[in-house]
Structure 1
């Protein structure tokens, strides 16, 4: 525990934040590249229908991420809090629960999707031109559900003990495998969307193998041994309650993606393909923000568990400034070079025209979006799941879904393009209000304890 105390409590704030955030940002970007690889290599077929099919079925992958985030981010937060309280056995119980629950949910998801494939494709917005492509992709993504959930959940869980580098390595192994396999299956073997899905699943299988190796041979404080499941009931409830905000945020992103794609169907498959590319590209900014804020969450959780409020505040301020700087640089690049960014994925004039306008509109919230994720992760680290959950509901549910219909009805395609940015700014205002209130309450509690 000495090394953990050194990192969590005594390492200078900037150094501690960067040590945790940089590997986590890399891990997050690895996941984005992982997800973008399918779209990129399918786009090399110059078939907008295949690109649209991957975009339509991406909602299922995002739903997987919702469950992985619920289990993984919830587990990471609980583990870091428990380690701050010197509860090492209970930290092992939390990691074992995360391992087996990810596998179990993955198996249930696989069976449910395979049994309900055709109705699900209709809900996702598949058209006659995209149906077979979508079905091919979804079949293999369903089969690989247990591996996808386990690999992505443990990308978060291992950071709970400060192992940001292990998280990064596990993600990179899967991504490198996917990038190598994608052109082989999609282009060389001419398997199209099915090949993209197979490459994605195999990449996650390799990631799972690494995390199992890490848990059994390398981890000093985590375990996947079944014996720790016997008394993990209370830990399980805590993991789920803290992880719900992250899960809800991703789940609502999946639902929003389905509704967004359905709203775009009247504008044609090219509009759906364009938004699919923009969504993947914009995730680069989103995941930089999430990488920074997820990376520092164990630091915040440990500080909260140890009662180190001053250090908690210093980490929060530096991380907030870091997200604004990174978000501003990336958003500026996207806005300045929007057509070229879309052209990287597909050489189709109409898709590029649609996509450039969509990317500019979506990127306008990029500079400050990190403050929303920072607030959600800070509230989770302070063991305040209710306000964190409300924030997740506001962004993609309370704001995005109604705005999609209202702005689309009033301003057509242009209104649809600005829906996410409008929802983001409204959610950020509420986030800052909730964060300030939570910090005041935290200081009041610590002052009462000291008195």
Structure 2
């Protein structure tokens, strides 16, 4: 039965996760989340498109921007630690009709997002120069990277609030409101980028200013909704005191997503350093473009797994095992079909994807074969996304953390360092590490999920039938 106080709000209808039509519930959340994630992707993608077209320095500017990716990814990692970490717990509590605990989880997440945002801002600005050189900067690329990074870091708290609290809007079933959070920032960013980059001649600094201002608007929108009357679970800050027990639970579950994002940052550092040693600044630009294509390609698959997550968590909390199983099956099948299609398109038309960001002949010649190697067998990522999403949704923190580490830290990083030395592969070895991890990590994650989760769901169904 749905909660008796479910309601519709203008422009943001609340999805009923207790509906027996699981496909409709998953798609009702996934569709606006897909739009939201695509729009969120525009923050950085639009920056790269414009920066790559700066007359006379587009390729070098792309390399400088690519050096900032580990920091951007790290900020996202901390946002996910408390956002994606707490949202499934919030959904489970809603499924159990424990709204007091659900509100407390959200309030403690807000507190940690603000605290971590301030700390990351101070440390990032103070240490930005040694960090950029550690990430693979040269004397040519450092000035560009420093301009973008120092300005971007000033908006860290805004980024973390908008990214970290938006999952709590989605976990309540207000996926369209969550989409509008990102739409507001993305449209602002798209409008400001050409004005600041080209019109005012600010270059990469203009791109960073546009991003910070856009995230500020998104953060204001999120806070206004969650503290307003339309939210089912309101963020109440008056009289708030941190709850160490709840924070530990949030961190325990969020660590898997944090590790996934953190290891992405680690991989970017290792890749940039290795590519600079074997191919120079040109191949850092190539990796910047490939990372951009990967983000575009994987966003619908991530939206699907994120859309299935609150439905799975809610029905798991409500002990509706059949609906949990149906959501997992639907999410996996649709994800596999999509990743198979996008792999075929990238394999057949690699140059078209690269030209979105840069049309320099030298970069294009280097990027086409690298892109085809990097994306080989991309469809195996569907199994990684599905398995990882289920572990997070069901609060299986240890398994979620392990498989986050397995694919990136245990497989990709060592292979990135080793393969360039094998059979003269050089830079090809760096790009080859990704498909190997897709096959090994994806299969291991999905098979483990099937072997651990499905028996539990069967036992839950037997217990329900015996009542």
TM-score range for the pair, normalised by the shorter chain length:
over 0.9
Structure with the larger helix share: 1
Q: 1:150 aligns with which of 157, 161, 178?
A: 161
Within a 5 Å distance, the mapping from 1:187-226 to structure 2 comes to 187-226=198-237
2:117 paired with 1:83: no
Give the match's secondary structure for 1:418: helix
Moved more, 146-155 or 364-373: 364-373
Q: Which runs of at least 4 in structure 1 moved beyond 6 Å after TM superposition?
A: none
2:139 paired with 1:128: yes
Query: After superposition, what is the alpha-carbon deviation per residue over 1:377-431, rounded to whole angstroms, capped at 9, x for unaligned?
Result: 1112212100011010011101110111121211111111111111121101111
Provide the C-alpha distance between the structure 2 equivalents of 1:228 and 1:24, rounded to a whole number of angstroms. 33
- CA shift in 2, pair 1:289/1:269, >3 Å: same
Query: After superposition, what is the alpha-carbon deviation per residue over 1:292-338, rounded to whole angstroms, capped at 9, x for unaligned?
Result: 10111010001111111111001111111111121122222222111
Moved more, 249-258 or 4-13: 4-13
Give the equivalent residue in structure 2 for 1:39: 48
Give the match's secondary structure for 2:231: coil
Give the match's secondary structure for 1:161: coil
Within a 5 Å distance, the mapping from 1:312-327 to structure 2 comes to 312-327=324-339
Q: 2:453 aligns with which of 424, 439, 450?
A: 439
Query: After superposition, what is the alpha-carbon deviation per residue over 1:65-103, rounded to whole angstroms, capped at 9, x for unaligned?
Result: 111111111121011000001010111111111222111
Q: Is the 8 A contact 1:92 1:228 kept in 2?
A: no
Structure 1 unaligned segments of length 5 or more: list them. Answer: none
2:440 paired with 1:426: yes
Within a 5 Å distance, the mapping from 1:34-113 to structure 2 comes to 34-46=43-55, 47=57, 48-113=59-124
Structure 2 unaligned segments of length 5 or more: list them. Answer: 8-13
- CA shift in 2, pair 1:365/1:205, >3 Å: farther
Within a 5 Å distance, the mapping from 1:369-384 to structure 2 comes to 369-384=381-396
Q: Is the 8 A contact 1:29 1:287 kept in 2?
A: yes
- CA shift in 2, pair 1:49/1:211, >3 Å: same
Q: Is the 8 A contact 2:79 2:163 kept in 1?
A: yes
Shift, 1:114, TM fit? 1.2
Give the match's secondary structure for 1:110: helix
Give the equivalent residue in structure 1 for 2:268: 257
Shift, 1:35, TM fit? 1.5
Give the equivalent residue in structure 2 for 1:27: 36
Shift, 1:444, TM fit? 5.3
Provide the C-alpha distance between the structure 2 equivalents of 1:414 and 1:379, rounded to a whole number of angstroms. 33
Provide the C-alpha distance between the structure 2 equivalents of 1:303 and 1:101, rounded to a whole number of angstroms. 28
Give the equivalent residue in structure 1 for 2:429: 415
Q: Is the 8 A contact 2:321 2:458 kept in 1?
A: no
Query: After superposition, what is the alpha-carbon deviation per residue over 1:192-251, rounded to whole angstroms, capped at 9, x for unaligned?
Result: 111111111111001001101111225433333224743633222211111111111001
Q: Is the 8 A contact 2:384 2:441 kept in 1?
A: yes
Give the equivalent residue in structure 2 for 1:15: 24
2:174 paired with 1:163: yes
TM-score, reference length from structure 2: 0.93
Give the equivalent residue in structure 1 for 2:405: 393
Provide the C-alpha distance between the structure 1 equivalents of 2:362 and 2:242, rounded to a whole number of angstroms. 58
Provide the C-alpha distance between the structure 1 equivalents of 2:370 and 2:44, rounded to a whole number of angstroms. 19
Provide the C-alpha distance between the structure 1 equivalents of 2:310 and 2:144, rounded to a whole number of angstroms. 41
2:187 paired with 1:173: no
Moved more, 146-155 or 246-255: 146-155
Give the match's secondary structure for 1:226: coil
- CA shift in 2, pair 1:229/1:354, >3 Å: farther
Shift, 1:287, TM fit? 1.8
Q: Is the 8 A contact 2:26 2:327 kept in 1?
A: yes
- CA shift in 2, pair 1:70/1:437, >3 Å: same
Quote the RMSD (CA, aligned, Å). Answer: 1.7
Give the equivalent residue in structure 1 for 2:257: 246
Q: How many residues align?
A: 451
- CA shift in 2, pair 1:238/1:228, >3 Å: farther
